[in-house]
Structure 1
């Protein structure tokens, strides 16, 4: 494990650094061999340790990455060297996971390894696009501009996610509230009402019996059902978000819903255009850029098309524009503009324009989705509550008729 030490030289000058050791006593020995008098020694928690502390591990969020890239770009712009910039960030960051990660980055630099190596170790937090851009920037000596582009792209991604979440807040609240009300009616109120009819000797219609049976079942197994719901929710979250099979199943199911399919396709096209533009602008070869972009789009159909463009098109001498025109998954406006950009020698600029265009289209698609969801939810709620009400009203009239 690693230890951070503060020690004094024979002339009284205080120095600090990190050492690899199995025990603090080994650190003391190494300092003594170097003629240093230890002032303090502290074990450094690794990033992996911080990740395992919580239930789902401590994370580096999009906001953390925006902060990192923005401040690194700023410090490099004013002439701060990379190692010093990392030290400043370590001192500024309070979040344990980020601080541990930055300490690991600093250790990597101290060992003479490339800057991108530590980022590449954690693909759950840093995508291949992120790592490839840093690698390209480090190789070209253009890290400042790369960090600027990354912070801008991450900020736009964060804003897009925020807009999607904000647009879906009302439908989700409406759905959850209505489900709770219906669960209360069916599981708590209906069993009591059905007991009244049973006591009065009323034989309700068949559909009323079905509704009352559902109510009796839910009311009699309330704790078991709640446990199953919570367990099912946790399992679904882990399975569908953490496993590749689960993500593929969710993607396939989502693409069977026409309105949702349009939103997801536009998000994938925006991500493709933005990613490929950034990679080409950073100087990566077109074939490598396409391979990385294919993994980043999050849509199996577009991913397959991009891989064919790379491997069966451009790699065999076909022009970029012609290779894209072979793939029907891409709208005509995309393939035509890419062909025009290729002839003009500005493919990355055209892709940036397409990214901005699809960002606007995503907003319009989300509004259409919400406009579709709201009446559908209200219709579902109305039909369900109407069925419950009817199952109660008919036996009530039968009861009144007895008097």
Structure 2
């Protein structure tokens, strides 16, 4: 929690100085008011670099970083010194951990460290893309312009994430409801029919026997433990497999083949890769260095490998479009636009146009996702519930035959 030093006046007019701790400046003012003090001077004490470094175990939210970048760009472009701008933002930031980091950065910059070198000391708060762009902005003397590009990039990335979360919410909730309905029928309805079937005195159809077996299993106390344990074990196995290079690649390849969602994941990956590469190269980062960052931030190992292979091709003298075309994961439209951008010297702008196009495609896909998935979910509901009902009524339909016998 930040520490504030204050100088204030009591109601009697006597002056008083001291220190206090509060979550933010407003909290400190409230504490002084409760003490009967009117603050003349209230300054947040600077965090030491070491104390800020201890905050590295906590990530900074993308929304906080986005707001910080946008505000810092405005402050720097207005002509205020960078350290003064950082001091202002540290006072305004509500996130205590991020406030300590900003304060320590201001202290390092004031002591002569470059802004980009200081940011590199906080890798969980400021990713590689951020620090490389800031370094390019410092070298070109256009730090405020680079910060504006960064803010635009972070906003676009956050909007893309929001759309993906929105797309995944409906099918997840609907699928969970289907499972709950099926479980309710099996646990509470099937036992009632089991008592009726017991009076028939004859062998039940195989689907009905299977349904009763599942119902009896789920009603035992250890069944939940087995199911939960199995799910946890499967998730743990997949995560462990995903830590290996081959596992990451194979799992990401499977994601791209999922009906409906695979196409969405593909569009997101292309949008992210092209936007990141455009933002980096536009800010002055060298193409090969930019591609290394794109590879690390691709979010999908299939596309990361394609970028890695493309970087190797560029290093060997090829154009960017050629190895991307060979990869087979970038559509022909994308590689043709990149080729035109390279030939006309407008690669950064062409990459941004590709990213904007695929962003609009993602938005359209998300907007139409409900109409695409709803028939599948209805069909699944019909198969699950209909299968249970048919299995329950099969013995009843065979009852006349048993009576005739």
**TM-score (ref. length: structure 1):** 0.78
Q: Distance in 2 between matches of 1:223 and 1:330?
A: 44
How do residues 171-250 of structure 1 correspond to structure 2 at under 5 angstroms? 171-198=171-198, 201=201, 203-220=203-220, 221-225=222-226, 227-228=228-229, 231=232, 235=236, 247-250=248-251
**Cα pair distance change 1:51/1:391, threshold 3 Å:** farther
Q: Secondary structure at the match of 1:284?
A: coil
**TM-fit CA distance, 1:70:** 0.8
**TM-fit CA distance, 1:283:** 0.9
**TM-fit CA distance, 1:211:** 0.8
**TM-fit CA distance, 1:69:** 0.6
Aligned twin of 2:291: 290
Aligned twin of 2:152: 152
**TM-fit CA distance, 1:51:** 6.3
Aligned twin of 1:120: 120
RMSD: 3.7
Aligned twin of 2:357: 357
Aligned twin of 1:22: none
Q: Distance in 1 between matches of 2:245 and 2:98?
A: 26
Deviations 1:339-374 (A, max 9, x none): 222232221111111111111222334456544432
**TM-fit CA distance, 1:186:** 1.6
Contact 1:119/1:131 (<8 A) preserved? yes
Deviations 1:51-98 (A, max 9, x none): 65xxxxx44222111111111111112222111112112211122222
Aligned twin of 1:165: 165
Aligned twin of 1:77: 77
**TM-fit CA distance, 1:111:** 4.5
**TM-fit CA distance, 1:179:** 1.0
Deviations 1:184-232 (A, max 9, x none): 2223332343244336645321110001101111111354256537856
Count of equivalent residues: 370
**TM-fit CA distance, 1:236:** 7.9
- Comparing 274-283 with 200-209, greater Cα deviation is found at 200-209
* Structure 1: gaps spanning 5 or more residues: 17-38, 53-57
**TM-fit CA distance, 1:177:** 1.0
* Structure 2: gaps spanning 5 or more residues: 8-14, 20-42
**TM-fit CA distance, 1:389:** 0.7
**Cα pair distance change 1:114/1:195, threshold 3 Å:** farther
Q: Distance in 1 between matches of 2:281 and 2:383?
A: 53
**Cα pair distance change 1:243/1:199, threshold 3 Å:** farther
Deviations 1:238-284 (A, max 9, x none): 76998877754531321232533322222121112111111111111
Q: Distance in 2 between matches of 1:230 and 1:331?
A: 37
Q: Distance in 2 between matches of 1:143 and 1:341?
A: 26
**Cα pair distance change 1:315/1:222, threshold 3 Å:** closer
Aligned twin of 2:307: 306
Q: Secondary structure at the match of 1:358?
A: helix
Contact 1:268/1:298 (<8 A) preserved? yes
Q: Distance in 2 between matches of 1:108 and 1:373?
A: 53
Q: Distance in 2 between matches of 1:95 and 1:240?
A: 36
Contact 2:109/2:118 (<8 A) preserved? no
Aligned twin of 1:394: 394
**TM-fit CA distance, 1:386:** 1.0
**Cα pair distance change 1:315/1:223, threshold 3 Å:** closer
Do residues 331 (structure 1) and 331 (structure 2) align? Answer: yes
Contact 2:55/2:101 (<8 A) preserved? no
How do residues 96-135 of structure 1 correspond to structure 2 at under 5 angstroms? 96-135=96-135
Q: Distance in 1 between matches of 2:287 and 2:207?
A: 64
Deviations 1:314-340 (A, max 9, x none): 323334455555544332222222222
Aligned twin of 1:253: 254
- Comparing 393-402 with 332-341, greater Cα deviation is found at 393-402
Aligned twin of 1:28: none
